[in-house]
Structures are given as C-alpha cells and as structure tokens.
Structure 1
C-alpha cells in the first residue's frame, strides 16, 4: 500500500475513532486552537481524586484552563432578601406533598424553604441528593482542575462566571418554578443520571456523543439551561486565540442533542 493511501486511511480512521480517554473527553481542533473537552462533574466521589495523570499532563501543556465559572472563589450566590409568598400558596397540593416527603427523607425542615425562590430550592435539594449519593464539591472535576491550574500558574478563563449563572436562574419565569417541579418529578431519574456520570469517570465513558440520556428537564428548561448556553460557549471557544486549552464543562453539555461537541464541529 502506498504511503499516500495509508495516510489517507489513517486520517479517516482517526476521524471516525478519535483518541479515547478513560474519562469523558474529546479532542477537537478549530484552526489554530486545540481543545481538550472534558465532561466535568461538579460534585464527585473520593474515588475521583486525584485526577488521572494523563489529564494533568494535558493541563500542564495547555495555555489555559477554561471552565464554566471559577467555583473556588468565595461568597454565597444566594440572595434571600426578597419576600415571597409561602410555598403553600405557590405549590399545588401534589407538589407540596412531594416536597414534604423529600424534606422528611433528607431530614430537612420544610420551613427553611418557605420564602426562597423556587430555583434556589431546586438547587438546594439537588445538592442534598448528591451528598446522599456520596458526592462532595471538593472532589468535583472542575474544582480539582481549578486547584491544579492555580498550582501550575495557568490562566483561568470563565465561559460565563458565577454572576451570569445566577442571573440566568433569576431570569427563569415564575421564579424558576419549572426547575423545582422538574426536580420533584424526576428525583429518582436525576439520581440515576448522577450515578451514570460518576461511572463515566470511574469505569468507562461513552464513546458516542449522541447517546440518549434520561430527561430531567422540560423542553423549555433544557433549551434555556443546556442548548442556549452550548451555543454561547461555542461562540466563545471559536473566538479564542490560537493555543492549546483544557475545557471543562458539565458532562451533560457534551452528550445528547445539540451537545457542545456537535456544535463546534458544524
């Protein structure tokens, strides 16, 4: 076989079967930009520490680490100053029953949520669920990458930042009631999804980005929290100067419909 034919076949195989890693990640080249896209989990298990040596080598040779937000910065994102109607007014009887049952299961006081915005209640419940599954913020992949980047004196680039994330949540219609309703409705599905993502790091990540994932968001929420943000991140990544970057985003942004990898390859 001639050298030119072999090189052509090798290039085809490389495109069909990109370099695989034992963590959820893909490499993508955009002209002079090489991106190592990592599917992060914001809370992880003890077994996910330390990060794989091969991933740390990727970071060591990178020009910068890119994350959704630098979560190592202190301060609470929550503002509870605004008064709201009690949950008994805002929730249907069925939703109130589900929330009460979850609070009992998690040993939480229902009264602590009474005047909080619905999106904040949803996030607090999801954080409690993750902790019940043995996940902790300091074992999260993006947190570990941020700590490693700071040790290596690598620049850190935020795709949106914590203030933008909170502003997005505050802009959700009806104080983010749909997010709370989805959290209550898909509670067990979300637990399975968390366990699935942990298995991607501890066992074997999926090779195919277009896998079908269990839905834990309504269509409108998925568009706001996943698809629209993926499109914004695509534009930011395409605007980067030439260089090598490690990019850590929530794992769900790299799989399923309209995932970030697919948008970058269009």
Structure 2
C-alpha cells in the first residue's frame, strides 16, 4: 500500500472515530444535572424520575463518576428503608381510621368510576380504599405509569442508591416517608375529595397517560426545554390538585430540601444529591434557593 493511500486510510479512520465518538459521549443524559460549589466543596445535584425502564441505565459518566468518588449520596428518602418503617408511616399518615366508610358515602356514579379505575390500574380495592383520598389519587396516577410499562423499582433514586452502596458511599435521607405522607393530609376535607375527582378525570380523559409519556420522554432525553416547560405549566395550573402540588409538594418542600443540602455542602467536600427533577426547575427551585445562599450553580444539562 502506498504511503499516500495509508495516510488517506488513517484520515478516514480518524473521521469515522470522531463521528461515532462525539455524539455518543453523553448519549445517556437523563433528567437534569447541576454542579454546585461553595468554599471549595462540590456537590452534583441530579433530577430523578420516580419510575424507570431497564434501558435508562447505566446513567451517564459525569454523574456516575461523581458518585463513585462521593462521601455521601443524599436522596429524598432511602428506597431501602425497612418495610416496618413504611407500614408505620402508612398507618399513621396515609390510612383512614378503621371502619371509616368514606368511600361508601360517595355518590353511586363516583363510586362506580373509582371502582372501575382501581380495576383498570390493577389495584386491590380492599386495600386501596383504606387509603386517604389524596394518597389514593397518587396511587391511581402511579398505576397509569405502571400500565405503560414504567416500574417504580427501576426509579433513578433506587438505581443510584444501589450504585452508592456498591461503592460504599453513605446514603442519606433528606426527608422521611412519614413527613411526605403527612403533607398529603394538609388539604381541607372538601379539597381532598376534589383532588381525587380531578385525578379520576385526568385518567379517564387520557390526559394523565399523555402527561406520563411527556414526562418520561423529557426526562429520559434530558430535554431541557421540555422539562422547563413542564415546570412552567405546573405553576399556571389553577386546579385544586395543581395548586397543592406546586405550593406544598414542590415549593414548600424545596425550602427544607435546600436547607439540608446547603448544610451537607458545607460539611462535606464531594457529595451527590438526587431529588425529583421538578424540584430543580422553575421559580422557588432548590438550585435557585441555594444560589441565594451564596452557592455557585452550574447547570450541566
């Protein structure tokens, strides 16, 4: 082979390597990732999705590399918490008092709708109807994700916790399940039933299914603009459920989450935190609150 042909072959080989390598360098970007710095300490803050698919993993190397070198992984709650703790939290905050006939008191048409949606979601009515209305609505929404094949055991929170323990990284819970469930009990009684009715409406209309697809697609492709649009849409939702989610489940919790993350960032040099992606977006987000406290924020994707 002549030297000219050899140089040409090496040239085309180099072009091929560049074309293949460059677009795929971070082909598995998911959700949103921020780099936080304060007084020389670094934290990577990742936006999770609480359901998943096998194809979502492994997550990309900037996140997994940071986790392998971290002292601590901070999550909303530890997905591996003891089952007894889960049951205690449900009994204390999530369940109706024994013998409460709340759902039997619904108008017949509403009760039939609820029974139909429980069956459609593959949920056991005898256990689900012991839950308070807002928790029941949450279970119906999760069932819609499950019907589309998305699995809670494949959430990015659970995957990161497994990776952390594999690398002997401490897993820190920022909240408790009891604290989260207690928030669901904050609505006045009429609004609790309105919350459940709104959820049934969105499922029956197909809106919940469409929204689930949009959320998963935006998260699984790290579509920054789509995620930001979803956060903006949350803030303009004037329904009972929409206002409650935005004001209580997101913005109010963001304050406590930001305080705990700020303390962790001050105390430890290299850490990773992973919380629901909507906590990282929009006004009153965790990164915005941390920035006000002097933390330098870089959005990586």
Classify the TM-score, shorter chain.
0.7 to 0.9
Alignment match, 2:52:
44
Verify: 1:181 aligned to 2:197, yes or no.
yes
In the alignment, what sits opposite 1:133? 148
Equivalent residues in 2 for 1:31-70, closer than 5 Å = 31-70=39-78
TM-score for both structures, normalised by structure 2: 0.71
Which residue pairs with 2:169 in the alignment? Answer: 154
Distance 1:262 1:192, change over 3 A: farther
Contact 1:23 1:201 in 2 (8 A): yes
Aligned CA distance change for structure 1 residues 207 and 114 (closer, same or farther; 3 Å): closer
Instruction: Name the CA shift for 1:210/1:29 in 2 (closer, same or farther; >3 Å).
Output: farther
Query: How far 1:152 moved relative to its partner?
Result: 0.7
Aligned to 1:7: none
Q: For residues 22-171 of structure 1, what are the structure 2 equivalents within 5 Å?
A: 22-24=29-31, 25-75=33-83, 76-77=86-87, 78-79=90-91, 80=95, 82-83=97-98, 84-89=100-105, 91=106, 95-108=110-123, 110=125, 112-171=127-186
Q: Give the structure with the larger helix fraction.
A: 2
Q: Go from structure 1 to structure 2 and tell me whether the alpha carbon gap of 1:156 and 1:92 turns closer, same or farther (over 3 Å shift).
A: same
Structure 1 residue 72 displacement after superposition? 1.3
Larger radius of gyration: 2
Tell me, yes or no, if structure 1 residue 220 matches structure 2 residue 244.
yes
1:163, distance to aligned residue in structure 2 (A): 2.6
Partner of 1:191: 209
Corresponding residue of 1:8 = none
Superposed displacement of residue 201, structure 1: 4.1
The runs of 5 or more residues in structure 2 that have no matched partner are 1-26, 293-301
Q: 1:105 to 1:197 in 2, by over 3 A?
A: same
Residues 216-250 of structure 1: per-residue CA shift (max 9 Å, x gap):
83313421111100011111122221422211111
Match of 2:255 in 1: 231
Contact kept, 8 Å, 1:44 with 1:139, in 2: the verdict is: yes
